[in-house]
Structure formats: C-alpha cells, structure tokens
C-alpha cells in the first residue's frame, strides 16, 4: 500500500484548487505558480500512482535513500543528489524503496512558463532525471517555497513561492544542459581558473592537461557546458572587466587593454568592437553617466 503523505517530521502545503485557478489567471503567478510543496523525511511506504499524470509539473529532489519511478515500460532509480522531473499529464507511479526509503523535497508547478523551462530538462514530454550540481541550493530553494506557503496564502506569499519555484526549475535546466556533475566538475574548475586569470595567456592544451583530459575531449566538454570555446569564454571575461574599467576609471585605452590581457591596444579595440558594436572610447562616452 502506497502512502501519499503522513510521515513523522514532514512538512506539506497544498493550495486550494479555487485559489490555484484564480492565481493562474493573473500575473505574475500565471507564468509560474507553486501549487504544492513538501518535505518527507525517510518516507517509508511513500508513493503515488497517477494513471493520468498530475495537472502540474512534479519535481522531486532526493537527499537520502532510494526511490523509483515507473513511466510506461521504463523504471527510473532516483538516488541522492538527483532530481526527478515529471511533466504535466504524464502517467507515472513512484515509490520509496522498501529497505532504504527516500528522503525528498518536492514541489508542483503550473503556469505558462513551465513548458519552456521543462524543455531544457526533459525531451518530448518524457520524464527527466537530473544530476544536481548543488543539492544544498536545490533543497534551500524548495525550503523557501514551503516557508512562503506556510506563512499564509495571500497573493504576496504566492508570488514569493513562485519565484522560488522558477529558481528551482532554472537550476535544474542549467544542470541538465551542463551535464552530470562528474563530467562538468573539471570544466567548472577550469572556468574558475579562467575567471581568476583572465588577463594571462590562454592555453587550451595546458587547461586540458590540468584537467587530466585530451585537448579535444576537454574542448568538447567545455563547449557543451558553456556554449562556446575557451577563447570566446576568456574574451567575454576580459570584455566584462574592460567595460567596468571604461565606466569607472579614467585610464587610457592602452592601459585598460593591458589590464585585461591584450598587449596590442589596436587589437583590443577591434575585439571590443566585435562584441559591443562600438569602440572603447564611444562606449565610455555613452556610459559615462551610468
């Protein structure tokens, strides 16, 4: 027998359906509304069977134990540091492992922006299993949503909970696009290195060697995680710092070029123009009052 709730130490908030209908007809909660949220610690015998799916998207973050989800002929194992994402109206059954029941933080979300956010997490309306890069942040976000709904059911509280729900789905989308943690950790470390040393010469082979990967494999992983190559990523970091210096200092263009890693001021100016559509001087003059 599967129990939908009733676990010692649980937290649970479910909005009345008339309130949900009303909130989904007015901005900003029409874009995304957290309709249900909760925390079930060591939820023995927990589970739900939904032959027609749920009206909302369901997100379950596992922090301990094991759970499983049946979708059609597929059975998905949900382990700690993973999030299960079920689109609306997808038939499913999920349950806690009998010997090692899961501990979960979860929420349901509805609204016009939900399908767009889910498109980066799931494919063709199927379920998604996302390896979390920061489980603590995901849990904290759901905790915030529960707290807002526990406070009261006024419109300000619904808006605040919706912001938390949007942040959670955005985090899951970013984690899904970036790939699994073990795959992306070397890239994350390389990004951190580049952020600290963007003004120094860039060597893709050296970055790859530090990560213990071949240059081609490293480059492919970096492009998958960031949407571009190492050189382009570094150029964007340099240009961000150049914009800051142009607005906040009176240093000449040559000094700024050197400060952000360019030995040739003319080359820096050409690179700046390709990114911003104007020269460094024109950018400074146009933003001097910012």
pLDDT digits (tens, 9 = 90+) for 167-212: 999 999 999 987 776 677 888 889 989 999 999 999 999 898 888 8
**In terms of pLDDT, which residue wins out, 166 or 176?**
166
Residues 6+ apart with CB under 8 A from 178: 133, 184, 187, 224, 225
**Cα(256)–Cα(72) distance, integer angstroms:** 59
Asked whether the beta carbons of 20 and 110 are under 8 A apart, the reply is: yes
**What is the pLDDT, as a whole number, of residue 182?**
67
Sign of the dihedral defined by the CA atoms of residues 258, 260, 264, 266, in that order: negative
For residue 149, pLDDT beyond 80: yes
Kindly indicate the confidence band of residue 289, based on its pLDDT and cuts at 50, 70 and 90: low
Instruction: Give me the residue spans of the domains in the chain.
Output: 11-178, 182-287
The fourth-level CATH superfamily of domain 182-287 is Homeodomain-like (1.10.10.60)
Q: Read off the pLDDT of residues 66-107 as tens digits, 9 standing for 90 and up.
A: 999 999 999 999 999 999 999 999 999 999 999 999 999 999
For residue 213, pLDDT beyond 90: no
User: What is the arithmetic mean of pLDDT over 161-172?
Assistant: 98
For residue 229, pLDDT beyond 80: yes
**pTM of the shown model:** 0.77
Kindly indicate the confidence band of residue 238, based on its pLDDT and cuts at 50, 70 and 90: very high
Architecture of domain 11-178: Sandwich (2.60)
């Amino acid at each position: 027998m599967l129990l939908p709730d009733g676990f010692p130490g649980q937290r649970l908030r479910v909005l009345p359906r008339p309130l949900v209908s009303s909130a989904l007809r007015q901005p900003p909660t029409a874009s995304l509304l957290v309709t249900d949220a909760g925390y079930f610690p060591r939820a023995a015998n927990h589970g739900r069977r939904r032959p027609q799916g749920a009206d909302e998207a369901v997100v379950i973050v596992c922090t301990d134990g094991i759970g499983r989800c049946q979708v059609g002929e597929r059975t998905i194992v949900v382990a700690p540091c993973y999030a299960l994402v079920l689109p609306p109206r997808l038939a499913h059954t999920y349950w806690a492992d009998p010997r090692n029941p899961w501990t979960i933080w979860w929420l349901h979300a509805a609204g016009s922006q939900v399908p767009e956010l889910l498109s980066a997490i799931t494919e063709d309306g199927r379920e998604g299993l996302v390896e979390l890069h920061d489980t603590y942040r995901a849990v904290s976000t759901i905790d915030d949503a529960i707290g807002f709904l526990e406070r009261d059911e006024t419109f300000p509280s619904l808006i605040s909970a919706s912001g938390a729900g949007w942040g959670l789905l955005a985090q899951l989308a970013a984690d899904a696009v970036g790939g699994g943690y073990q795959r992306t950790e070397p890239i994350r470390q390389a990004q951190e290195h580049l952020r600290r040393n963007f003004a120094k010469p860039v060597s893709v082979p050296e970055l790859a060697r530090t990560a213990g990967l071949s240059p081609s494999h490293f480059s492919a992983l970096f492009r998958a995680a960031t949407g571009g190559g190492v050189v382009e990523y570094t150029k964007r970091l340099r240009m961000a710092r150049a914009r800051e210096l142009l607005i906040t200092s009176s240093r000449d263009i040559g000094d700024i070029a050197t400060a952000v890693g360019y030995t040739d001021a003319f080359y820096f100016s050409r690179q700046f123009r390709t990114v911003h559509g104007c020269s460094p001087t024109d950018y400074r003059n146009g933003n001097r009052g910012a």
